[in-house]
Structure 1
Amino acid sequence: MVAVFPQKHLTDIAEWHRMGEAGIFPPESRLELIEGEILTMSPIGFNHASHVSRLTRYFIRLLDDGVSVRIQSPIQLGDLSEPEPDLVLAKADTADYTTRHPSAADVLLLVEVSDSTLRFDRTQKLRLYATHGITEYWIVNLIDQCLEVYRQPQDGDYLDKSVLTKADSIDLLALPALQVSVAAIL
């Protein structure tokens, strides 16, 4: 007798979009497509939501129309992943991304606010973002009250990793004139 093992069904972005258009998922579902797998995400808690709002207000005040501030909206990474990061600063798009989601080449900064998902954000999401060349990835770490900064993606990891506290500030790689106070976002 031959052993038969359950097989995982992986999907791609085209099938993912067809499933969404067909109404397969309830509207209140919090799902992401990560490396071909449909993952159920945790509900957003009070502290997490508050920090996403704080980040949004902070960056909107600092930026002009040359940068699109996207909140918990999809980005397309290859044919198998469409995560919904908490905040993305993307290059401005003439159609304001009405005909496509931003790709890795459009991303200036990607931020995940993290409490219950810290381990996932430091491992699977970090690997995904680095593999696709996201040049600057931040984790607003609500557990340790710090900002984790990841830069220089290479081979599925980041070569430059640093941890900042409320006393620090940071310049964005893609927008060096923009200095961000860590206290303002923590």
Structure 2
Amino acid sequence: MTITRYKWTLDRYHQAIEAGVFDDQNVELLRGEIVVMPPEGEPHVYFSDRFSKRLQKRLGDLAQIREGRPIVLPNHSEPQPDIAVVQSLDAVYLEHHPYPENIFWLIEYSNTTLKKDLEVKAKIYAEAGIREYWVVDLKNLQLTVFRDPTATGYETEFNLSEGTIAPLAFPDLQIEVRQLFSL
């Protein structure tokens, strides 16, 4: 028996959303497949919210912070990263979610979805040309940084559990790594 999977286009996915098909589920589109997102636990919500607020204060009008909101990627994907640092385009986002060229960097907080975030999403983001992607591993209290995207993945990947880091788009923004996951 052959199993045939239906691949969703962004247009069909948006039509289904508008029709209310996914009203009772939190889903995202990854490479044309609809993926149900697990509920976020308290640590996930606490730390991502906390860091997002700090980041918005520090960046001010230089960028807009979108929390758990969709971004549109050319590989039939519309993920919802925990934090997307994007250009402040105001009403343009009434017409479309941020495209790769609007994105400075993405951050995922991971507790139960680490494998998906480090492997599947990292590859999708690299293919789309997202310059920088961070995964905050809440179980191991570590930050994985991905940079230098290519069509096959990120060329640069490193882990930090302490020290400071500056995102590529904002080199003057020094971030204490422990601020991402500590009280």
TM-score interval, smaller chain: over 0.9
Find the counterpart in structure 2 of residue 122 from structure 1: 118
Residue correspondence of structure 1 range 28-107 to structure 2 within 5 A: 29-78=25-74, 80-95=76-91, 97-107=93-103
Provide TM-score, normalisation by structure 2: 0.95
Find the counterpart in structure 2 of residue 5 from structure 1: 2
- Report how far residue 94 of structure 1 moved: 4.2
Residue type matched to 2:93 in 1?
A: Y
Q: Distance in 2 between matches of 1:91 and 1:122?
A: 25
Structure 2 counterpart of 1:174, from 169, 173, 178: 169
Q: Distance in 2 between matches of 1:22 and 1:8?
A: 21
More helix by share: 2
Q: Distance in 1 between matches of 2:153 and 2:97?
A: 24
State the structure with more CA Rg.
1
* 1:89–1:109 CA contact under 8 A, matched in 2: yes
Structure 2 counterpart of 1:136, from 132, 135, 149: 132
Unaligned runs of 5+ in 1: none
Residue type matched to 1:170 in 2?
A: I
Q: Percent identity?
A: 33
* 1:67–1:89 CA contact under 8 A, matched in 2: yes
CA deviation digits over 1:74-107, x for unaligned, max 9? 0000151100000010011142512110011111
Find the counterpart in structure 2 of residue 160 from structure 1: 156
- Report how far residue 154 of structure 1 moved: 1.4
Which SS does the other structure have where 1:63 is aligned? helix
Q: Distance in 1 between matches of 2:119 and 2:127?
A: 12
Find the counterpart in structure 2 of residue 21 from structure 1: 18
Which SS does the other structure have where 1:97 is aligned? helix
Q: Distance in 1 between matches of 2:31 and 2:45?
A: 26
Provide TM-score, normalisation by structure 1: 0.93
Count residues in correspondence: 181
- Report how far residue 50 of structure 1 moved: 0.7
Residue type matched to 2:171 in 1?
A: P
Residue type matched to 1:182 in 2?
A: V
Q: Over the residues paired in the alignment, what is the CA RMSD in angstroms? A: 1.2
* 2:17–2:23 CA contact under 8 A, matched in 1: no
